[in-house]
């Protein structure tokens, strides 16, 4: 079992949403040190101040653009020197555009893949050598139920989460073959009520998830070294139905009966900061 107490924990996108909640709950459970990576300076400052007010002084904030590989490498070097080996890494930061594919700009596509796929892989890559040297480590990759089913207005996001799911499972097998105390947990939740997916409509018998419940489930899965966490339970039906049903039948069952294909019809997402210049607005990465 993976313990939370006395462990160094790093969470990307950790100043907002479920990343912030995972951080606070880890501190409550006795984490030795919490490292927060986030791109939003204001949120980062508020989160650190909030945690310190609650008596948690073992928190180290770092401004990191997950879309920038060189920045990931540079900040990882600082973390390893200043904090030490990371015991539990949560790849949590992510972004969604929520448009028909033909409406995407090249920048929309590149940004989604850079943050949701390349950022996840490179963050794991830079911390794995120290984990391997120590002989222990746990990587938690927050994917999505979108990685299990097609969905209109989510084509690029779904592609990014399908990529994370395949990579994460492959990484798990590689790490298990090393034969030491390594674990990889992949989380594939449906929509979570954090603001990232404001405006979406919940599929049939698949409610919008409460972030407090989801983070409790994630921490439990980590402590139990679970391989996959799908939430809610109905998400477990997706691989089954897609595996046994002909594609057109699944389109009818998933798209018409369960309403999956209409969930993004009225998507709003987090409000845009229109006052920011384009380059700064591009840094307002949404976190699940």
HEC readout, 173-220: HHHHHHCCEEEEEEEEECCECCCCCCCCCCCCCCCCECHHHHHHHHHH
* Residues 36 and 62: beta-carbon distance below 8 Å: yes
Q: Is 157 part of the annotated catalytic residue set?
A: yes
Catalytically annotated residue among 56, 90, 102, 157: 157
Cis peptide leading into residue 232 (ω within 30°) = yes
The answer for residues whose C-beta is within 8 angstroms of residue 243's C-beta and 6 or more apart is none
Predicted pLDDT of residue 179 = 86
* Structure tokens belonging to residue 281: 């607005």
Phi and psi torsions of 10, nearest 5°: -120, 135
What separation in angstroms does the CA of 138 have from each of 16, 55, 164, 269, 288?
22, 26, 16, 31, 20
SS3 for 1? coil
Q: Is 6 helix (H, G, I), strand (E, B) or coil?
A: coil
Residue 19 to residues 4, 95, 174, 192, 248, Cα–Cα distance (Å): 15, 13, 26, 12, 37
What confidence score (pLDDT) does residue 111 get?
A: 97
* Mean pLDDT of each 10-residue bin along the chain, 288 residues long: 95 97 98 97 97 96 97 98 98 96 97 98 98 97 96 97 98 94 97 91 90 97 97 93 95 92 89 42 41
Q: What CATH number does the domain located at 8-281 have?
A: 3.40.50.720
Contact (Cβ atoms closer than 8 angstroms) between residue 141 and residue 164: yes
Q: Which residues contact 127 (CB under 8 A, 6 or more apart)?
A: 10, 76, 79, 80, 85, 86, 89, 137
Task: Kindly state the tokens that stand for 198.
Answer: 């404001």
Does the pTM surpass 0.85? The reply is yes
Domain ranges of the chain: 8-281
Edge-to-edge strands, sheet with 8-12 = 59-63, 33-38, 8-12, 88-91, 136-142, 181-189, 228-231
- State the pLDDT at residue 195: 87
pLDDT in tens, 109-140: 999 999 999 999 999 999 999 999 999 999 99
């Amino acid at each position: 079992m993976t313990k939370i107490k006395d462990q160094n924990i790093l969470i990307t996108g950790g100043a907002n949403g479920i990343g912030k909640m995972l951080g606070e709950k880890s501190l409550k459970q006795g984490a030795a040190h919490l490292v927060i990576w986030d791109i939003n300076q204001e949120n980062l400052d508020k989160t650190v101040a909030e945690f310190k007010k609650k008596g948690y002084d073992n928190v180290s904030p770092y401004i990191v653009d997950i879309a920038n590989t060189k920045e990931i490498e540079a900040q990882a070097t600082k973390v390893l020197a200043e904090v030490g080996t990371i015991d539990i890494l949560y790849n949590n930061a992510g972004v969604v555009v929520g448009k028909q594919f033909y409406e995407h700009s090249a920048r929309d596509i590149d940004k989604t893949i850079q943050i949701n796929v390349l950022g996840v892989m490179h963050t794991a890559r830079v911390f794995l050598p120290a984990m391997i040297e120590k002989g222990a480590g746990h990587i938690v990759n927050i994917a999505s139920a979108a990685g299990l089913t097609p969905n209109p207005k989510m084509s690029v996001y779904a592609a990014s989460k399908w990529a994370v799911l395949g990579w994460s499972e492959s990484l798990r097998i590689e790490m298990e073959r090393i034969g030491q105390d390594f674990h990889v947990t992949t989380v594939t939740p449906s929509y979570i009520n954090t603001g990232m997916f404001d405006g979406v409509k919940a599929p049939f018998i698949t409610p919008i998830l409460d972030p407090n419940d989801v983070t409790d489930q994630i921490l439990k899965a980590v402590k139990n070294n679970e391989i996959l966490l799908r939430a809610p339970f109905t998400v477990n039906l997706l691989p089954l139905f897609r595996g046994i049903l002909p594609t057109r039948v699944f389109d009818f069952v998933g798209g018409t009966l369960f309403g999956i294909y209409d969930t993004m019809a009225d998507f709003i997402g987090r409000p845009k900061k229109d006052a920011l210049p384009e380059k700064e607005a591009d840094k307002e990465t949404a976190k699940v």
